Amino acid sequence: MPHARIDLDTRAVVAPVHRRLFGSFVEHLGRCVYDGLYEPGHPTADADGFRRDVVDLVRELGVSTVRYPGGNFVSGFRWEDSVGPRENRPVRRDLAWHSLESNQVGLDEFARWLKLVDAELMLAVNLGTRGIQAALDLLEYANHPSGTALSDQRIANGTLAPHDVRMWCLGNEMDGPWQTGFMTADDYGKLAARTAAAMRMADSRLELVACGSSGSGMPTFGEWERTVLEHTYDQIDYVSCHAYYQERGGDLDSFLASALDMQYFIDTVVAAADHVGSKRHSRKRIKLSFDEWNIWYLDEHRTSGEVNEQWRFAPRQLEDVYSVADAVVLGDLLMTLLRNADRVTAASLAQLVNVIAPIMTEPAGPAWRQTTFYPFAITSRLARGVALRVPVDVPTYPTAVHGEAPLVDAVATHDAEAGCAALFLVNRSRSDAITVTADIRSLGDVAIRETQAIHDSDVYAKNTLDDPERVTPKTNDTVRIDAGELTITLPPVSWTAVSLG
Ligand code: AHR
């Protein structure tokens, strides 16, 4: 049996665990909003039409921030369509997903929903088909207290207090040819800089996110960030990162090491940002907003015909059903975000309900947790205080996509004030259980509070409408602490959290 040694040293601090790392994303896409979080006829629906069973699950998931309303959708969106009396709201075509948008849920309704789930709103403006004026108008409608045309319109629409949105995305994936109104880095950089400057004139406290690359495989990856930041460095706070992973061609070994690509992504964007910063002799450090990340079986969806020539309301699109292996990879991706908490200070799991989501619903039926729900919810609950770098001494295994990959990945968090810590572990081996020995003397006298693990003899086991609890977290009874040394045996293809205190 392979063996891993790790050293959990409370001095190896990366940065505080920002709650915004546990953000998510709601796009007007498929059944994320309609027949997802909003279904007026549903038995659990409240007066606003929001499903309370979904609200309960979102709260359990521990989501801090929600990016809204897109995604590709935002690049053709007219925000004015989605406010005011519902009966006056127009039906529009959404070119991004070839579907119809009823606009029955808009900014004011969504902000009310966010109060139910106790999460922060992160808004995206349309820089695909629109520009500075529409962004300023939305900002006035959303954030100005009262006494102007658009703030008074919001009040007349029933929202007295401003939404006070702090984080704003300057468009979405403007590097992608699939984006309505996509641009070159130079054109986008100029537009984003001017939009950001104008938005700051209206409200200097905004936190602005410029579009980075839509994936590390984009031909412009790295150079896009450099060019955009040359234009926007002084105006923005964050550059966005988007990454989706999937198992391809039965290559589970590579898939299980997807976090290595996420690390490469982060390293490259940090290098590009700091290069621009150093040329300007700037002390400012651009932060990363990893505002789309997940497992997405994109290749299969591309050929499925679900995005087609029919214009339908809320069609079933991107409804991936996740396996145990997917959950293990998702847990590892979240560990990678924690490990980079010094630069990645915001992130959004894409998406939240039905569309590549941890929560699924059936119209007039139940809502349930996908396998991927668990590592996110458990990490959000246990990761407190500061993130700790945890070096792992373990053999590697060969992968076709990422080269040599360590068999075990680890990261920890430590809350000195509360006297607790959490250790997150992944075993990427398909065949072997791996025993981990951790030197935890720096934590002092601690006991094991709980262990939570995702694994199964069938790594492709899934939760479905018919069997919604096929996969749930298990405890790990192998864990021991003896003389400042913690040992635990990790089953093959597993994600594990150990809470100590
Ligand atoms: O999350 C699904 C889509 O992925 C988003 O609309 C887009 O931004 C990305 O390509």
Task: Give the residue from 214, 217, 218, 275 showing the smallest Cα distance to 241.
Answer: 214
Which atom of ligand 1 lies nearest, measured to the CA of 27?
A: 6
Active-site entry in 120, 173, 225, 247:
173
**Strand pairing of 420-427 and 408-415?**
antiparallel
Q: Is the CB of 463 under 6 A from ligand 1?
A: no
pLDDT for res 353? 98
Determine whether the shortest distance from the Cβ of 214 to ligand 1 is under 6 A. yes
173 CB near ligand 1 (under 6 Å): yes
Task: Please count the other Cβ atoms lying within 10 Å of the Cβ belonging to residue 112.
Answer: 15
Residue 59 backbone dihedrals phi, psi, to 5 degrees? -65, -40
DSSP state for residue 88 in the 8-state scheme: G
Atom of ligand 1 nearest to the CA of 73: 6
Nearest Cα residue to 338 out of 296, 270, 292, 384: 384
Alpha-carbon separation of residue 146 from 159, 161, 205 (angstroms)? 11, 9, 18
**Cα distances (angstroms) measured from residue 368 to each of 46, 51, 57, 59, 472:** 19, 13, 8, 13, 11
CA-nearest residue for atom 1, ligand 1, is 350
Structure tokens at 34: 């309609």
Evaluate: CB of 72 within 6 angstroms of ligand 1: yes
Give 361's contacts (C-beta < 8 A, 6+ positions apart).
31, 35, 36, 39, 51, 53, 54, 353, 354, 367, 368
Ligand 1 atom closest to Cα of residue 318: 2
DSSP result, 401-422: TTEEEESEEEEEEEETTTTEEE
Alpha carbon separation from 27 to 77, 110, 300, 411 (Å, rounded): 11, 11, 20, 31
120 counts as catalytic: no
Report which protein residue has its CA nearest ligand 1's atom 9. 71
- Please name the residue whose Cα sits nearest to atom 6 of ligand 1: 71
Known catalytic residue: 450? no
Q: β-strands 167-170, 408-415: how paired? A: unpaired
The string over 421-459, giving b where at least 16 C-beta atoms fall within 10 Å of a residue's C-beta and e elsewhere, is bbbbbbbbbeeeebbbebebeebeebeeebbbbbbbeeb
Both tokens assigned to 64: 């801090």
Measuring from atom 5 of ligand 1, which residue has the nearest CA? 71
Round the CA-based radius of gyration of the chain to a whole number and report it.
Answer: 22
DSSP state of 20: G
82: left (phi over 0), alpha (psi -120 to 50) or beta: alpha
What pLDDT, on a 0 to 100 scale, did the predictor assign at position 301? 83
Rounded Cα distance between 471 and 76, Å, is 39
Is the peptide bond between 375 and the residue preceding it cis, with omega within 30 degrees of 0? no
The first and second tokens of residue 445, run together, are 């006298």
Task: Report how far residue 497's alpha carbon sits from residue 475's, in angstroms, rounded to the nearest whole number.
Answer: 9
What phi and psi, each to the nearest 5 degrees, are found at residue 282? Answer: -95, 140
> What's residue 2's pLDDT?
87
The distance in angstroms from the start CA to the end CA of the chain is 29
Question: What strands lie across the sheet with 408-415, from one edge to the other?
Answer: 13-16, 386-388, 408-415, 420-427, 494-500, 448-454
Tokens for 133? Answer: 């004026």
User: Ligand 1, from 73, 172, 182, 216: best to mutate by most atoms within 8 Å of Cβ?
Assistant: 172
Q: Is 24 in the pocket of ligand 1 (CB under 6 A)?
A: no
Place of tokens 């009310």: 112
pLDDT tens for the chain, 501 residues long, are 889 999 999 999 999 999 999 999 999 999 999 999 999 999 999 999 999 999 999 999 999 999 999 999 999 999 999 999 999 999 999 999 999 999 999 999 999 999 999 999 999 999 999 999 999 999 999 999 999 999 999 999 999 999 999 999 999 999 999 999 999 999 999 999 999 999 999 999 999 999 999 999 999 999 999 999 999 999 999 999 999 999 999 999 999 999 999 999 999 999 999 999 999 999 999 999 999 999 999 988 888 889 988 999 999 999 999 999 999 999 999 999 999 999 999 999 999 999 999 999 999 999 999 999 999 999 999 999 999 999 999 999 999 999 999 999 999 999 999 999 999 999 999 999 999 999 999 999 999 999 999 999 999 999 999 999 999 999 999 999 999 999 999 999 999 999 999
| Protein residue with least CA distance to atom 4, ligand 1 | 71
Name the pTM for this structure. 0.98
Contact call for residues 359 and 368 (beta carbons, < 8 A): yes
Beta-strand pair 386-388/13-16: antiparallel
Distance (Å, whole) CA 494 – CA 430? 9
